[in-house]
Amino acid sequence: MKFGKLIVLTGPSGVGKGTLVRSLLNRHRELHLSVSVTTREPREGEVEGKHYYFVSRSGFEQMVEAGELAEWAEFAGNFYGTPYFALKQGIGEGKWVILEIELEGARQIRDKFPKALRLFILPPSWEELERRLRGRGQDSESAIARRLLRAQEEIEAAGEFDFQVVNDDLEVALKKLESILNLVEVSGN
């Protein structure tokens, strides 16, 4: 991968974005993950600077006011955002940078980085998405309800993206993503 590229990967909560991204990063060392900033508390096993930069709500608001974030959104009562400098630096160094974000942020990135490759991950079914969200055991019933409500809106927006990939079988979804990345690399777009 000779030229820098921003890859935006979006989909509803519970669709398997994180698993797909981790698998892509393990298979393709030339890909780099953009680390987001969040106001939520770290989950068990999450490491500062590797999974997220964890900041206070006031610290996040200062970053927004200073124009330091390429995108940001509130999701499930917490703020999430992407530091501008890391994206520009990585792309400028010829890296392919993966940005795993929610729909609102992806729309902001589309306006600021119009040449970004935009991928939407879909669940195989609504029932499977709900099963995955409940199976994580991380959220209260009210949080699951909010995530499902938001998922309806997000799935309706899948057509705004360059490619849609259904995550029914992890290996099949990974191969589809890899073929898309190879196509983009070959075409130079």
Given this model, what pLDDT does residue 1 score? Answer: 45
pLDDT exceeds 90 at position 109: yes
DSSP string of 22-42?
HHHHHH-TTEEEPPEEESSPP
Asked whether the beta carbons of 133 and 144 are under 8 A apart, the reply is yes
The per-residue pLDDT for range 61-93, each reduced to its tens digit, is 999 999 999 999 887 789 999 999 889 888 988
Q: What is the mean pLDDT of residues 119-133?
A: 92
Q: What is the mean pLDDT of residues 79-108?
A: 91
pLDDT exceeds 50 at position 34: yes
Percent with pLDDT over 90 in the chain: 64
Domain assignment of residue 37, given as a range: 5-187
pLDDT exceeds 90 at position 134: no
Asked whether the beta carbons of 31 and 119 are under 8 A apart, the reply is no
How far are the Cα atoms of 21, 51, 125 from residue 46, in angstroms, in the given order?
15, 6, 29
The structural domain count of the chain equals 1
Given this model, what pLDDT does residue 154 score? Answer: 95
How far are the Cα atoms of 13, 18, 96, 101, 134 from residue 150, in angstroms, in the given order?
9, 18, 29, 14, 15
Given this model, what pLDDT does residue 184 score? Answer: 84
Say what the pTM is: 0.85
Paired strand residues for 5: 96
Question: Phi and psi for 179 in degrees, rounded to 5?
Answer: -65, -35
Give CA–CA dist 169/80, Å, rounded: 28
Question: Domain of 145: which CATH number?
Answer: 3.40.50.300
Instruction: Give the residue with greater pLDDT, 186 vs 156.
Output: 156
pLDDT exceeds 70 at position 175: yes
pLDDT exceeds 80 at position 188: no
